C-alpha cells in the first residue's frame, strides 16, 4: 500500500482517487478552490444549474460507466437530438422531410459518410473541433447526453462515493511547490507522501514541473445563462460551423434540468484573441437567441478556457523518478475530453504499484 496525494478535485482527481483506493492505497485529495469539480462543475441558482460551457456525456463512455457503477440511483439523462439541432445555412442536422433527404441521412449515418454535410458537421462539433468519430457517431445516434442534475451531478456522485470509502478531500488547499515525495501548500504546510498525482490541469502541472513536454489546446469562450424566455423555441441548439460557434438550450434537451424558461450554454472555440472571441459569441447570441439579454436570471461568461489537447499528449509517468504521476484529458489514453480524464486516471492508478516508495 502506498500513500497517495492527489492534487486537484476535478473529474481526474476524483476518479484517480477512487481508482487508487480500489487498489488498496491510502489516498488524500487537495483542492485549491472552496468547491470541487473544476471545469466540470455547475452551480445551482434558483433551480438552474449554471455550468462552465456546454458539456455532453458520451453514453457508455468511461465517465458514464464510472458514474453508473458508483450510483445507487441511475442518473436521469436525455440525449441531444440531431433532428432538433439546426446547422446554419444547411437546415436540421437530421432532416425528416423530404423523405429523400431523410433516407440519405440515415444511409450516411450508417456508413459514416463524410461527404454528407451533417456527418461532417457532427464530426466537427461533437468533439469541439477534434473530429472524434466515436463522439460524432454518438451525436448522430442520439447518444450524447444531458444530465438532469447538471454536470455537477456527476461530480457529486463521485464525491459521495469517496466520502463513503473514507477518502478525505481538503478544499482551500493550494499546492505551490513539489519536491520528491513532498508537496508544499500555500498556507506554509508541507505534506510527505509516497506518490504525488497531479490532477490539476496542464497549466498548473507545468508550473509545478516546468520541464513537462509542451501540449497545445483547443481553447474557447463560453456563455451560460438562465432565462425566463425560450429564444431557441423547440430547437436543442444552433451550430455555426464556419465560425465554430454554438448555442444549446439544455432545458429543451432535458426538461427536468431547470424549473422554467431556458438554460442556454454557448461556446465559441478556436484560435484568436479571447476578448474578441467572447464578443463574437455575444453577438452570435444577440442574432440567434433574440432578446436573450432582457431575460437573464443568472449568467456566467468565461473568456478563455482550455477544452482539450489537440495532437500529442503526455505519458502519465514522465516524472516517475520524482515520485510523480499525472492524470487529465491531456495525459495519454484512448479517449478524449472527460472520458480521456477518467481513462487516464485508471491507467495512472495502475502505475502506482510500480513507483518507488519514500525511504
Ligand atoms: C467549454 C468546454 C466544453 C467541454 N465539453 C465537454 C463535453 O462535452 N464532454 C466531455 O466529456 N468533456 C467536455 N469538456 C472537458 C471536461 O470539462 C474536462 O476534460 C474535465 O472537466 C477535466 O477535468 P480535470 O479534473 O482534468 O481538470 P479540471 O476540471 O481543470 O480540474 C483541476 C482541479 O485542480 C484544481 N487545482 C489546480 N491547481 C491546483 C493546485 N495548485 N493545488 C490544488 N488544486 C489545484 C482546480 O481548482 C480544479 O478543481 C469540456 C471542457 C470545456 C472547457
Give yes or no for residue 357 having a pLDDT over 80: no
Which atom number of ligand 1 is nearest to the Cα of residue 220?
1
What per-residue confidence (pLDDT) applies to 9?
97
pLDDT digits (tens, 9 = 90+) for 174-219: 999 999 899 999 999 999 999 999 999 999 999 999 999 999 999 9
Place of cell 490539476: 200
Residue 69 included in any domain: no
Residue 13 and residue 123 in one domain: no
- Report the predicted TM-score, pTM, of the whole model to 2 decimal places: 0.96
Any domain includes 284: yes
Other beta carbons within 10 angstroms of residue 184's beta carbon come to 15
Chain centre distance of CA 213: 22
Q: Are residues 205 and 320 in the same domain?
A: yes
Mean pLDDT to the nearest integer, 241-266 = 97
199 within ligand 1 shell (Cβ under 6 A): yes
- Shared domain check, 287 and 157: no
Residue range 230-235: mean pLDDT, rounded: 98
Does residue 62 sit within a domain? no
- 128 belongs to a structural domain: yes
- Span 292-334, pLDDT tens digits: 999 999 999 999 999 999 989 999 999 999 999 999 999 999 9
Q: State the residue range of the domain holding 190.
A: 3-54+151-214+312-354
CB 212 within 8 A of CB 340: no
Q: Which pLDDT belongs to residue 311? A: 86
For ligand 1, atom 37, name the residue with the nearest CA. Answer: 200
Residues 50, 174, single domain; the answer is yes
Centre of ligand 1 from the C-alpha of residue 337, in Å: 9
Pocket test for ligand 1, best of 6, 7, 8 (most atoms within 8 A of CB): 8
Alpha-carbon span 45 to 50, nearest angstrom = 7
70 occurs within a structural domain:
no
Mean of the per-residue pLDDT values of the chain: 96
- The model's confidence at residue 152, banded by pLDDT at 50, 70 and 90, is confident
247 close to ligand 1 (CB < 6 Angstrom): no
CA distance 325 to 327: 7
- Which atom of ligand 1 is closest in space to residue 339's alpha carbon? 11
Tell me, what CATH number does 13's domain have?
A: 3.50.50.60
Grid coordinates representing 8? 486537484
In this structure, which residue's CA is closest to atom 20 in ligand 1? 338
The CB of 61 under 6 Å from ligand 1? The reply is no
pLDDT for position 355: 86
| Residue 297 and residue 229 share a domain | yes
User: Same structural domain for residues 10 and 116?
Assistant: no
Domain count across the chain: 3
**40 Cα nearest atom in ligand 1:** 21
Q: CA-CA distance, 349 to 347, in Å (whole number)?
A: 6
Same domain, 210 and 320: yes
Cα 38 to ligand 1 centroid, rounded to whole Å: 5
Amino acid at each position: 500500500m502506498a500513500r497517495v496525494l492527489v492534487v486537484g478535485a476535478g473529474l481526474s482527481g476524483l476518479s484517480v482517487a477512487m481508482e487508487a483506493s480500489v487498489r488498496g492505497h491510502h489516498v488524500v485529495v487537495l483542492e485549491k478552490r472552496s468547491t470541487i469539480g473544476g471545469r466540470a462543475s455547475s452551480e445551482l441558482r434558483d433551480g438552474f444549474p449554471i455550468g462552465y460551457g456546454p458539456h455532453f456525456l458520451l453514453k457508455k463512455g468511461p465517465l458514464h460507466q464510472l458514474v453508473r457503477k458508483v450510483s445507487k440511483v441511475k442518473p436521469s439523462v436525455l440525449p441531444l437530438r440531431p433532428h432538433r439541432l439546426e446547422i446554419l445555412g444547411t437546415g436540421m442536422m437530421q432532416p425528416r422531410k423530404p423523405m429523400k433527404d431523410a433516407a440519405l441521412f440515415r444511409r450516411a449515418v450508417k456508413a459514416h459518410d463524410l461527404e454528407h454535410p451533417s456527418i461532417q458537421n457532427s464530426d466537427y462539433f461533437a468533439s469541439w473541433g477534434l473530429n472524434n468519430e466515436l463522439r460524432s457517431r454518438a451525436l448522430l445516434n442520439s447518444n450524447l447526453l444531458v444530465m438532469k442534475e447538471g454536470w455537477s451531478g456527476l461530480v457529486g456522485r463521485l464525491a459521495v462515493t469517496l466520502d463513503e470509502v473514507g477518502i478525505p478531500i481538503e478544499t482551500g488547499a493550494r499546492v505551490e511547490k513539489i519536491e520528491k515525495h513532498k508537496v508544499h501548500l500555500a498556507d506554509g504546510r508541507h505534506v510527505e507522501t509516497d506518490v504525488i498525482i497531479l490532477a490539476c490541469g496542464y497549466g498548473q502541472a507545468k508550473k509545478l514541473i516546468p520541464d513537462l513536454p509542451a501540449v497545445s489546446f483547443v481553447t474557447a469562450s463560453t456563455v451560460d445563462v438562465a432565462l425566463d424566455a425560450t429564444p431557441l423555441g423547440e430547437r436543442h441548439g444552433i451550430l455555426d460551423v464556419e465560425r465554430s460557434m454554438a448555442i444549446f438550450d439544455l432545458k429543451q434537451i432535458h426538461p427536468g434540468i431547470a424549473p422554467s424558461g431556458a438554460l442556454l450554454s454557448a461556446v465559441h472555440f478556436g484560435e484568436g484573441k479571447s476578448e474578441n472571441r467572447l464578443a463574437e459569441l455575444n453577438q452570435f447570441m444577440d442574432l440567434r437567441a433574440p432578446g436573450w439579454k432582457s431575460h437573464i436570471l443568472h449568467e456566467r461568461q468565461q473568456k478563455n478556457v482550455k477544452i482539450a489537447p489537440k495532437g500529442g499528449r503526455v505519458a502519465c509517468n514522465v516524472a516517475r523518478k520524482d515520485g510523480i504521476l499525472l492524470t487529465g484529458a491531456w495525459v495519454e489514453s484512448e479517449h478524449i475530453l472527460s472520458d480521456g480524464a477518467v481513462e487516464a486516471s485508471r491507467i495512472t492508478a495502475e502505475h502506482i504499484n510500480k513507483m518507488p516508495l519514500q525511504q
